[in-house]
Amino acid sequence: MTKANKIITGILGLSMFTFGVLKFINPFKYWYSTQIIKSELPFPTLSYWSGQMGEILIGLSLFFVLFFDSKTSKKNFKRIFTLSNLSIVIIMVIAFYVHLHPNVPSEVLPLKISPPYIPGIFLFLAILNLYLKKGGNFY
């Protein structure tokens, strides 16, 4: 991994893990459950748990590739790295939807504002991480 990949992977891993864990604790738990309900995501219970556990597992996966890249086969490293970053992209697209949904009050969103700045930053970082890992190309 390049130095830039290591920095981005560390930021994403720590952030995803932390945000996933915080969603078990109030007031974050209340805000998150309100976001799920008000945004009318399908299967609210599944959406609730998959969001939390997904963030925690992605964070742990990124820590794994960050600290054990030399002990992991290139094939497994590539799979874990790519899947983790693509999962962040999916989660952030859903976060964009939640932020922009008219029924979701800004009081339950990060920074208490509707524009999806935080999801946008994480979406950008995940795509940049994939781009840099591929040597500056996606093909």
pLDDT of the chain, 139 residues: tens digit per residue: 889 999 999 999 999 999 999 999 999 999 999 999 999 998 989 999 999 999 999 999 999 999 988 888 888 999 999 999 999 999 999 999 999 999 999 999 988 888 899 999 999 999 999 999 876 555 5
Q: What is the DSSP string of the chain?
A: --HHHHHHHHHHHHHHHHHHHHTTSTTHHHHHHHHHHHTT-SSHHHHHHHHHHHHHHHHHHHHHHHHSGGGS-HHHHHHHHHHHHHHHHHHHHHHHHHHH-TTS-GGGSGGG-SS-HHHHHHHHHHHHHHHHHTTS---
- Look-up: residue for tokens 């999801």? 119
For residues 36 and 48, is the Cβ–Cβ distance under 8 A?
Answer: yes
Q: How many domains does the chain have?
A: 1
Q: Does the residue 138 lie in any domain? A: no
Q: Does the residue 75 lie in any domain? A: yes
Supply the pLDDT for residue 70. Answer: 82
Supply the pLDDT for residue 135. Answer: 67
Q: Does the residue 44 lie in any domain? A: yes
Q: Does the residue 10 lie in any domain? A: yes
Supply the pLDDT for residue 138. Answer: 56
* The model's pTM: 0.89
- Look-up: residue for tokens 């597992």? 57
Q: Does the residue 139 lie in any domain? A: no
Range of the domain at 74: 3-133
**Positive or negative: CA dihedral 24, 28, 33, 35:** negative
